[in-house]
Amino acid sequence: MPSPVIDLRSDTVTKPSAAMRRAMHDAEVGDDVYREDPTVNRLQDRAAEIFGCEAGLYVVSGTMGNQTAIKVLTRHGQEVICEERCHIYNFEMAMVAVFSGVLPRTIRAADGILTWPMIAPYIRARNDHRARTGLIELENTSNLAGGSVYPLEIANDIVDRAHAAGLPVHLDGARIFNASVALGRSVAELTKKFDSVMFCLSKGLGAPVGSLLVGSKEFIEEARIVRKMLGGGMRQAGVLAAAGFVALEEGPPRLHIDHANAKFLAQGLAEIPGIKVDPSKVASNILFFDVSGTGLAAQEISKRLAARGVLANASDPQTIRMVTHLDVDRRGCERALRVLREVVT
């Protein structure tokens, strides 16, 4: 029997577990646009409880959650300050411009971690010549910066000072549970100062579909309207939310395994000739490694890996990303390392 494919392209690729499928089968449903889906309501209430917020809103995807929050918190013609490699700027189809009519004001920061002194010079209040700042956005963990984690004091300092300047702060917490595990602090602690938080059920937590926005009642009421504008009123969405509920309860306690596997991969990769990676930088479940020393293009390596049953995407001509998750165990990681060594030597 051929070995199963080791899919390290993303933590979005996980398949629903047996418990999730059972919960989906058994889910009580209603029309969620009328707020009558008991399973969606239960998921939203539980998310709000875990994050210590007033309310939650189930959305189709992380992208929908981020873009909904940005729309609620900004006005056309403003700027959003964010890190240069963030998801809202690089992977959300220019929706900040298309939908909210705002301009990303990007700042490059080491490891994707902004600090207040980096942000402060870019904040513009009312001005006759330049667009006003409307929002600050942070990403934790930072995907393109290699799953790096915001130190709590740095994130809190940014939010406190932004508030003092009259600015809201949105958190793209697609992988905030990974940050929570890496720091040993609860997600409520990591996010309590933010005006809005988006987190994904469909990444490391393992659900097939869905993300949540959490925040104040007032913010979530506005977000409901924007979600509807985006076509995100899903009706009997309880069949999906049921899987999300299982992910929210069962996902977080096992994320440390993915972090250990990512570290293990990085340590193994560092020993392969021509590959450059710093295992000490791997803080969660994402790693990027440089393949330029192998003499092969990242795309070519990715193709050769795929032919041998290991999937990992090139993120640029000399870099490959690997993401660990619940459908890849330690043996899978060992095999990925073996195959990679064969492919490049």
Q: Which residues bind ligand TLP (CB under 6 A)?
A: 10, 12, 61-63, 66, 87, 91, 139, 143, 172, 174, 200, 202, 211
Give the Cα separation of 142 and 23 in Å (integer).
31
Q: Which residue is nearest to ligand TLP (CB)?
A: 62
- Minimum CB–partner distance for residue 187 and ligand TLP (Å): 15
- Minimum CB–partner distance for residue 28 and ligand TLP (Å): 25
- Minimum CB–partner distance for residue 203 and ligand TLP (Å): 7
Give the Cα separation of 281 and 277 in Å (integer).
8
- Minimum CB–partner distance for residue 228 and ligand TLP (Å): 18
Nearer CB in complex with ligand TLP: 14/202: 202
Structure tokens of 277? 């990676």
- Minimum CB–partner distance for residue 212 and ligand TLP (Å): 11
| Beta bridge mates, 59 | 211
Nearer CB in complex with ligand TLP: 200/344: 200
Which of 105, 252, 287 has its CA nearest to residue 176? Answer: 252
| Beta bridge mates, 79 | 103, 133
Nearer CB in complex with ligand TLP: 50/82: 82
Give the Cα separation of 191 and 173 in Å (integer).
9
Residue in the structure block whose two tokens are 């295992």: 279
Nearer CB in complex with ligand TLP: 39/140: 140
Contact in structure between 103 and 109 (CB atoms under 8 Å): no
Give the Cα separation of 76 and 256 in Å (integer).
41
Nearer CB in complex with ligand TLP: 123/155: 155
